[in-house]
């Protein structure tokens, strides 16, 4: 794992200071880009390290096969709370079982010669789940909640996209026919992303900014609000690929856009 040393941190700080002083110099830009790469790798590696499951090696089984135990909360998705029984039901799908030993409360045991592979299968299993436990939340109930609250969370949006792109057919007219506001954290991230396309961190308008005067005025509006307008098919004639169609509303006007391949496409 790449660690961020004191020297790395000092180099990053110096490169930022040098770039602020002489942003037009190629050498300053190159140093800044190298520092950004170093910092990004360190953060990425730390995230991977933080997400690893904490395994405890326990006595081998009666046949001499190695066994490892982890806590049942490792079978919950982010921000999800599940019971021990629900965790065991998930664990059994990937070869885990109940650990009957009071020395390790809430344990799930695996007989394994390659615990890294087992950990990978656990994470893949969790990513395939739609809701709490093993019960899939119906799309109709998801849409009913959206219609009731007139808002949509990032988690729910990703859920609908995953289902739509897997071929599930459902009525999304509730979204098209109503002003469905993005959750506050989504809206904040979305507006920050748009502003970064327009201006650099120093406030200079980017030469490759995709916005005209209308879009700039909307994004700069302190009262700007983001909505999910619907879903846009960014695929081709033989394959559909659905992405969110967003609307950004200011005091006097709005703009609509979708993002595909990391590129913004303004369509209204």
The one-character DSSP state at 105 is T
Closest among 251, 177, 254 to 266, alpha carbons compared? 254
Query: Buried b / exposed e across 75-96, counting CB within 10 Å, b at 16+?
Result: bbeeeeebebebbbebbeebeb
Structure tokens at 186: 């989504």
The pLDDT value given to residue 140: 84
Does the structure show a pLDDT above 70 at 169? yes
How many CB atoms neighbour CB 207 within 10 A?
6
The one-character DSSP state at 178 is S
Q: Which of 10-14, 140-144, 168-172, 261-265 has the lowest mean pLDDT?
A: 10-14
Does the structure show a pLDDT above 80 at 47? no
For 96-123, what is the mean pLDDT?
A: 88
At residue 155 the predicted structure's pLDDT band, cuts being 50, 70 and 90, is confident
For 242-256, what is the mean pLDDT?
A: 87
Does the structure show a pLDDT above 60 at 232? yes
Q: How far apart are CA 172 and CA 244, in angstroms?
A: 12
- What percent of the chain clears pLDDT 90, i.e. is strictly above it? 20
For 114-141, what is the mean pLDDT?
A: 74
Q: How far apart are CA 202 and CA 212, in angstroms?
A: 20
Closest among 132, 86, 92 to 109, alpha carbons compared? 92
pLDDT digits 0-9 by tens, 74-106: 888 876 778 889 899 999 988 999 998 877 788
The one-character DSSP state at 45 is H
Does the structure show a pLDDT above 70 at 7? no
The pLDDT value given to residue 28: 67
The pLDDT value given to residue 41: 55
pLDDT greater at residue 52 or residue 232: 232
Does the structure show a pLDDT above 60 at 51? no
Q: Are 61 and 67 in contact (CB under 8 A)?
A: yes
How many CB atoms neighbour CB 46 within 10 A?
14
What ranges in the chain are assigned the alpha helix state H? Answer: 6-21, 26-51, 84-93, 115-127, 139-149, 154-165, 173-176, 184-198, 213-220
The pLDDT value given to residue 45: 44
For 229-254, what is the mean pLDDT?
A: 86
Task: Tell me if the pTM is above 0.85.
Answer: no
Give the DSSP per-residue string, 206-245.
Answer: PTT----HHHHHHHH-TT-EEEEEEEEE-S-SS---EEEE
Domain locations in the chain as residue ranges: 6-51, 56-127, 139-266
- What percent of the chain clears pLDDT 70, i.e. is strictly above it? 81
């Amino acid at each position: 794992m790449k660690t961020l040393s004191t020297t790395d941190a000092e180099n990053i700080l110096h490169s930022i200071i040098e770039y602020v002083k002489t942003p037009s110099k190629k050498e300053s830009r190159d140093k800044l880009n190298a520092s950004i790469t170093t910092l990004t790798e360190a953060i990425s590696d730390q995230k991977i390290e933080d997400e690893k499951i904490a395994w405890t090696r326990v006595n081998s089984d009666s046949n001499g096969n190695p066994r490892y135990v982890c806590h049942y909360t490792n079978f919950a998705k982010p921000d999800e709370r599940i019971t021990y029984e629900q965790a065991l039901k998930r664990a059994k799908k990937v070869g885990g079982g109940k650990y009957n030993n009071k020395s390790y409360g809430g344990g799930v045991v695996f007989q394994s010669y390659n615990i890294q592979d087992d950990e990978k299968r656990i994470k893949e299993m969790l990513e395939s789940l739609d809701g709490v436990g093993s019960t899939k939340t119906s799309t109709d109930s998801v849409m009913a909640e959206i219609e009731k609250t007139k808002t949509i969370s990032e988690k729910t949006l990703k859920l609908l996209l995953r289902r739509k792109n897997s071929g599930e057919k459902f009525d999304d007219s509730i979204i098209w026919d109503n002003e469905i506001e993005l959750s506050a954290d989504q809206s904040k991230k979305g507006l920050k992303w748009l502003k970064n396309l327009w201006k650099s961190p120093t406030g200079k308008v980017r030469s490759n900014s995709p916005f005209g005067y209308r879009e700039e005025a909307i994004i700069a509006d302190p009262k700007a609000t983001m909505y999910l307008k619907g879903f846009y098919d960014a695929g081709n004639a033989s394959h559909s690929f659905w992405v969110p169609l967003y609307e950004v509303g200011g005091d006097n006007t709005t703009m609509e856009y979708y993002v595909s391949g990391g590129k913004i496409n303004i369509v209204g």
